[in-house]
Amino acid sequence: MEAIKKQASKLREQVARQQQTILRQMGQLGHEGIMFDEADMLRHQQLQNLYKSTRAAKHFQKDIVRGLEGFISTSKKQMEIATKLAEDCCKYGIENQDCGFLLASVASDFGTSHASMEDHRETMLGILGYQVSEPLRALMGGAPLKDARHLTQRYDRMRREFEIQLKSSMLALGREATAATLSVEDQQKETTFQKLLTMVEAERSYHRNVMAILEKLHYEMILEEQTEDSSLESEIQPRDENIPSPDNEIVSNRTSNGQDDDVDDKTDTYFIANLNLEVDDYVVVGSNGWSEGECNGKAGWFLSVYVEKRYTVPANKLSEQEEGLQTWPESVVAAA
């Protein structure tokens, strides 16, 4: 940047000297016009194109800066809301961690994860502000761009105002202006590209970190849920009662076309996998909260809460049912 400023200063001094030379020579030559050759016409057209290109790049940089300012402002407001939510979740988890609730652990993990996400968002906003927006703003108002544009404007003005001038001086000025503008254009394109790349990389890093946090949070929530379910199942142990008590009830399963169903279709996998009742199958409902049944020659246990319809069987029929029952081996009951 300092080298470009020095080059622009030298160009200003050279242009001033060349102007004085041209004015002196114009006084000697009078108003006789000088024919412009094809090379000068091409250079003039090139300068016009470069002037438009640098102006478009400057406007594009201005749009990027304006967009980033709005994005950063909006993101900071979102950060405040998200940070408050994370703090509330962490507070709830800390206050209720001794109660043993699954929700307290999940809320604490959720709050911690989102707090970490907001830290990454703050890092991304810092990169967008200090490494993208501010350098582009400085580049828009920098001396190299202004000097190059002034040189181009002065060259164009001199070309319009003076038709009689030394061709060599004008061509030299054109070459210098072209070189300066080309240098600035290359710097503009490279700098703008690098800043856009930095912006994209910062956003990619942010989303990658957020995805990693969310994956970890999801895994921990599922793990907590599975651990909770396993602890509940381990606390429930069925008791082996092969002989039904006198107050037992026989539960029959009906077909689905207009008849009653005794078992909920949405019972858990423990019952569905081991006691898949069909028509005329039966289960014995015990008074201890567990029921036993037989289906396709296999017997097993399930919780009595899943029974929907109950029919009390007379004592004589219950005796007949009991005579047909066999004593189930311990291995069969355990497998169920």
The listed CATH number (3.30.70.100, 1.20.1270.60, 3.30.420.280, 3.40.50.1970) that belongs to domain 2-235 = 1.20.1270.60
What is the model's pTM? 0.47
Rounded Cα distance, 30 and 136, in Å: 47
- For residue 217, what are its two tokens? 């949070």
pLDDT at 122: 92
pLDDT at 23: 57
pLDDT at 327: 37
Rounded Cα distance, 125 and 114, in Å: 16
**Per-domain boundaries in the chain:** 2-235, 249-335
pLDDT at 31: 42
pLDDT at 120: 93
pLDDT at 304: 61
Rounded Cα distance, 295 and 278, in Å: 7
- Show the low-confidence residues of the chain (pLDDT under 50): 28-35, 239-274, 322-336
Note the pLDDT tens digit of each residue in 176-206: 888 888 888 888 889 889 999 999 999 999 9
pLDDT at 25: 55
| Cα end-to-end span (Å), the chain | 81
Q: How far apart, in Å, are the Cα atoms of 266 and each of 270, 272, 300, 301, 336?
A: 11, 9, 18, 17, 18
